A and B are shown apart, each in its own frame.
Chain A
Amino acid sequence: MQVPAPFEYQRVSSVDQAIGLLDRLGDTARLVAGGHSLIPMMKLRLANFEYLIDINDLHEELGYITEEPRTIRIGAMTRHRELLESRALADAFPIFRDAERVIADPVVRNRGTLGGSLCQADPSEDLSAVCTTLDAQCVIRGLDGERVVSMEEFHRGPYETAVGDAEILTEVRFPIRPNGSSAYEKVERRAGDWAVVSAGAAVWLAEDGTVADARVGLAAVGPNTAGIPGIADAMRGHAPSEELYARAGAIAANAADPVTDRRGSAEYKRHLAKELTVRVLRESVARIREQHRQGA
């Protein structure tokens, strides 16, 4: 049995209590939410922390999916399973259901959280790509109150985020814009594996049927999961077509900076960046058209 090195453990009952402890203990402490990344790393003794602050009791406070007219707000302790099963979320952003169906397995999804996924900032992690695709805003709370940052600002690099030592990610906000849809696709070697590459897309159409805006987020193709701005520029104002998707796919492949590892060669991953970008853009547009058909 793999066992972690000794550590102190405390459960907290409020966000403020967690922030207070983090402030006092500094970088010797770590929050544990679902724990499906942190605990294995500690058991392998790849990561050692003197203190673990368990925030699972904050699920009542930070576990929610709230629909507002122009925004969906999701609490950082919302679990994968809740994201997967939310009808409201699937209606507004089908990308969530696509992604959650291929994240790990039910055991992990029962426990893992949105906030934990984003804060782990693994470059292969799926929800970071989803949030990037949807242009999410992250709410970070510290001793001095809240601040709101974009995903680009939030994700600073592999395993590094904008959340400071005495701060906690509390909420992620997703803007709802009309006439849009989204999709996600992942290639993995086996169910539950980390992505070889995955891609998310969100597309919004103008009244004339041309692309009003489009966003693509990739996972596992380089140190960052930042969005690819060139795609919106290339697609905006054009009618959706296979040629247009291919152009966007080429931009995505170009923006990718993958490395060869046991999941696949860099060349294959670049190919996938293109292939999956095409597929998710195509699917996003198809879903918008399906909405129209159902609305009509």
Chain B
Amino acid sequence: MTTTPERVHDDSRVTAFEDNDHKPVGHGRMLRKEDPRFVRGRGRYVDDVQLPGMLHLAILRSPMAHARILSVDTSLAEAHPKVRLVVTGAMLAEKGLAWMPTLSNDVQAVLATDKVRFQGQEVAFVVAEDRYAARDALELIDVDYEPLDPVVDVRTALAPEAPVIRDDLEGKADNHCFDWETGDAAATDAVFARADVVVSEDIVYPRVHPAPMETCGAVADYDDIDGKLTLWSTTQAPHAHRTLYAIVAGLPEHKIRVIAPDIGGGFGNKVPIYPGYVCAIVGSLLTGKPVKWMEDRSENLISTGFARDYIMRGEIAATSDGRILAIRTHVLADHGAFNGTAAPVKYPAGFFGVFTGSYDIEAAYCKMTAVYTNKAPGGVAYACSFRITEAVYLVERIVDCLAYELKMDPAALRLKNFIRPEQFPYATKTGWTYDSGNYEPTMRLSMELAGYDQLRAEQAEKRARGELMGIGISFFTEAVGAGPRKDMDILGLGMADGCELRVHPTGKAVVRLSVQTQGQGHETTFAQIVAEEIGIPPQDIEVVHGDTDQTPFGLGTYGSRSTPVSGAAAALVARKVRDKARLIASAMLEVSVADLEWTKGAFHVKGDPSASVTIQDIAMRAHGAGDLPDGVEGGLEAQICYNPENLTYPHGAYICVVDIDPGTAKVTVRRFVAVDDCGTRINPMIIEGQVHGGLTDGVGMALMEMISFDEDGNCLGGSLMDYLIPTALEVPDWETGFTVTPSPHHPIGAKGVGESATVGSPPAIVNAVVDALKPFGIRHADMPLTPSRVWEAMQGRPTPPI
């Protein structure tokens, strides 16, 4: 399969065939090892787990956003012939399990005891012989609610008359969640005071949902003979979850085994511990049987971790000739009913602090206030690298507003203000150290691929004819790969990752990871990382992950941290094995270590390539008979725990071209050029796949996705008919390119890329739409840019979505 006819689309765009089947021993394009099972529908997901005697759990959820629970009558449900167990919040409270900690040191109800605080909150659960009976029995539970006024509008959540949501917290008299600031307020004010131009804009990043194809679920199997709990669950962080279960439930950690089998997409949705997982464990403890809980689509959309929901005032100060001096922002953050943000504890706003973007500026300041509302808890990542998508959206939108005011080309304005290559490592005004970057070539490449000047000429012609065409640019720098243990932990767990590599006697190998793929292709990428270092073909390297009994400790996969952290661990553990192999090779070849040369897969004697031993030969010797060098043990294996010294900072330049139908205001994304720089590229095919997925996410958020609520706090995005996710028909044929600026501290120079496109694409699309609307005098319009909302903007009244 090396050649195939080019596919020609209706609109005569051409997708060139790319042969990805290169079979590299190391980095390069290769087909994914996991795909034979996925493309055949043979993935093994949590819902595929079937155990003898397994029971099924279903959760009764609150129909109201805010209400006091007066009584819960479960007698009819208990009388259902197939029901084994009905559990309420009151019953959990007796066991001290009604509340659990969140990832942000708040608490969250497992089952509501006093009040329900968002629509869809867990109130009771039923365990029955089949999933149909479990569902039917939910309708037999009678809950008496006393409705309370809900807090829906984040802007009035702190008003003195607002009902207090978190009266479970002692002394809590308002809906204040936390305040946070970064940067230097006084220095920033001073720069603003002397700036020629100050532009400010209110920018909303609406609440969206990660919406993975597989919803959340678990199978809990407690064995009361050996006291061991096995939990199959949809988790992006099996080790962190196990430790937290040990802490929350008081089960000994060594008696808990968390297995994350194939995961059907995570995007941050599967980082938190949800009440449903705990309910499944409780269900198994109480029935002595395996208990399965699988959320349905509505439950997933209504109750699990959302993302974004920031209301931002962005301000930018500049000279009249376009030198950016400072950026200032005030943010109002809606955290829902419980603060479940998944972020390192010292970073309650995630890594929003990188809102200074890719620009060399003099001062920056951010003040954030987070509040509770009667909405689903979270503030979890959604492929956002811990809130960097909000930060990038803010800075890239406000820079475009500045370009609008200065009547400058947005590409020229960016090029003028980039951090210069010689300034790296670059310390930002908010305390981040960008490891490496070379922005201008990336920007120039994107402009070249897009044909930027021709596009501007085309736009001028079209504008003269009354046609609406927009060109949007975004340039992002991300901070990914959390993180150095001196700065970063989640609930006290440091963010270093273990890795173990064992080479078997016949030269095949197994590498054990702490991170957990959700579709990113870890089984391929990590085999390639090890192959590159040790010369064993990727097909001969088994990648084991997603099982706490089989893998070393580590914090899991989110925030694009797998390659920056565990990828580094895999490379270094392979080098450790190679170092040992070198000692054995020196004995086998009877030369000193210094006289050996490594070419991928074999050591040979310097000056005598014929005197060589392969890594496979060495593996057999390591396990075989005969003497090994003094002090060298048998076997060929190593383990490591890698603590990154810094995050990695990938960057990228995106250019989007849109057309808007002037009559219907419908936006069509005509072209999208994405140039990414994620340092060393391990498998370009996988990178491109990640980028394509993230760009599609961006189209969804920019044009159609939003979790909205009515005035009673009812969630209006509870199905995929209401919460729209883009299809192939809404997205163009992606045009991708790359530059390579390796990370100086990562052993192979790689940076994370999994979230780059989700972070970088929304501002490019919105900037393009706003650019198209320039003839209407529009400088800003908020997402989602549905036809109706674009039309309102064309009428001169763009309105925020909340």
Chain B at the A interface: mostly helix, strand, loop or mixed? loop
Is the Cβ of A1 less than 8 Å from the Cβ of B294?
yes
Assembly CA distance A275 to B791 (angstroms)? 12
Interface members, chain A 272-288 (any B CB < 8 Å):
272, 275-276, 279
Assembly CA distance A281 to B409 (angstroms)? 41
> Given A44-B719, A187-B666, are A6 and B704 also a contact pair (CB < 8 Å)?
no
Of the candidates A187, A262, A265, the one having the most CB atoms from chain B within 10 angstroms of its own CB is A262
Is the Cβ of B136 less than 8 Å from the Cβ of A6?
yes
- Contact of B727 (CB < 8 Å), options: A192, A263, A264, A269: A192
Minimum CB distance partner of A185 in chain B: B664
Minimum CB distance partner of B134 in chain A: A3
> Given A196-B787, A275-B664, are A262 and B708 also a contact pair (CB < 8 Å)?
yes
Q: Give a binary string over A179-197; 1 marks a CB under 8 Å from any B CB, 0 the rest.
A: 0000000010111111010
Is the Cβ of A2 less than 8 Å from the Cβ of B297?
yes
In angstroms, how far is the closest chain B Cβ from the Cβ of A43?
8
Whether B730 sits at the interface, judged by CB under 8 Å, is yes
Is the Cβ of A190 less than 8 Å from the Cβ of B726?
yes
Whether A289 sits at the interface, judged by CB under 8 Å, is no
- Contact of B792 (CB < 8 Å), options: A187, A193, A265, A279: A265
Whether A271 sits at the interface, judged by CB under 8 Å, is yes
Q: Give a binary string over B127-138; 1 marks a CB under 8 Å from any A CB, 0 the rest.
A: 000011001100
- Specify which chain A residues have a CB less than 8 angstroms from the CB of B726 in the assembled complex: 190
A-B pairs under 8 A by CB, number? 63
Interface members, chain B 80-129 (any A CB < 8 Å):
none
- Specify which chain A residues have a CB less than 8 angstroms from the CB of B136 in the assembled complex: 5-6
In angstroms, how far is the closest chain B Cβ from the Cβ of A151?
26
- Specify which chain B residues have a CB less than 8 angstroms from the CB of A265 in the assembled complex: 788, 792
In angstroms, how far is the closest chain A Cβ from the Cβ of B305?
21
Interface members, chain A 1-41 (any B CB < 8 Å):
1-3, 5-6
| Contact-size category for A | 20 to 34
Which residues of B are interface residues toward A (Cβ below 8 A)? 131-132, 135-136, 139, 294, 296-298, 663-666, 703-704, 708, 716, 719, 721-722, 724-727, 729-730, 786-788, 791-792
> Given A189-B724, A194-B721, are A263 and B788 also a contact pair (CB < 8 Å)?
yes
A-B contact pairs, 15 of them (CB 8 A): A1-B131, A3-B135, A189-B724, A189-B786, A190-B729, A192-B727, A196-B787, A262-B722, A264-B786, A264-B788, A265-B792, A268-B665, A275-B664, A276-B664, A279-B663
Assembly CA distance A189 to B783 (angstroms)? 13
- Specify which chain A residues have a CB less than 8 angstroms from the CB of B729 in the assembled complex: 190-191
Is the Cβ of A187 less than 8 Å from the Cβ of B664?
yes
In angstroms, how far is the closest chain B Cβ from the Cβ of A125?
13
Q: Which 8 A-B pairs have the closest CB atoms?
A: A264-B788, A191-B729, A268-B788, A2-B296, A275-B663, A190-B724, A268-B791, A187-B664
Interface members, chain A 168-220 (any B CB < 8 Å):
187, 189-194, 196
Which residues of A are interface residues toward B (Cβ below 8 A)? 1-3, 5-6, 44-45, 187, 189-194, 196, 262-265, 268-269, 271-272, 275-276, 279
Is the Cβ of A44 less than 8 Å from the Cβ of B724?
no
Assembly CA distance A268 to B722 (angstroms)? 19
Assembly CA distance A114 to B786 (angstroms)? 29
In angstroms, how far is the closest chain B Cβ from the Cβ of A37?
11
- Specify which chain B residues have a CB less than 8 angstroms from the CB of A44 in the assembled complex: 298, 719
- Specify which chain A residues have a CB less than 8 angstroms from the CB of B298 in the assembled complex: 2, 44
Is the Cβ of B792 less than 8 Å from the Cβ of A268?
yes
Is the Cβ of A3 less than 8 Å from the Cβ of B788?
no
- Specify which chain B residues have a CB less than 8 angstroms from the CB of A5 in the assembled complex: 136, 139
Is the Cβ of B296 less than 8 Å from the Cβ of A190?
no
- Specify which chain A residues have a CB less than 8 angstroms from the CB of B791 in the assembled complex: 264, 268, 271
Minimum CB distance partner of B662 in chain A: A275
Minimum CB distance partner of A278 in chain B: B663
- Specify which chain B residues have a CB less than 8 angstroms from the CB of A192 in the assembled complex: 727
Is the Cβ of A268 less than 8 Å from the Cβ of B787?
yes
Is the Cβ of B788 less than 8 Å from the Cβ of A191?
no
Is the Cβ of B730 less than 8 Å from the Cβ of A190?
yes
- Specify which chain A residues have a CB less than 8 angstroms from the CB of B719 in the assembled complex: 44
> Given A190-B704, A191-B730, A196-B787, are A272 and B716 also a contact pair (CB < 8 Å)?
no
Assembly CA distance A259 to B664 (angstroms)? 17
- Specify which chain B residues have a CB less than 8 angstroms from the CB of A190 in the assembled complex: 704, 724-727, 729-730
In angstroms, how far is the closest chain A Cβ from the Cβ of B60?
13
Assembly CA distance A1 to B135 (angstroms)? 10
Assembly CA distance A264 to B297 (angstroms)? 24
> Given A1-B296, A3-B131, A268-B788, are A193 and B664 also a contact pair (CB < 8 Å)?
no
- Specify which chain B residues have a CB less than 8 angstroms from the CB of A189 in the assembled complex: 703-704, 724, 786-787
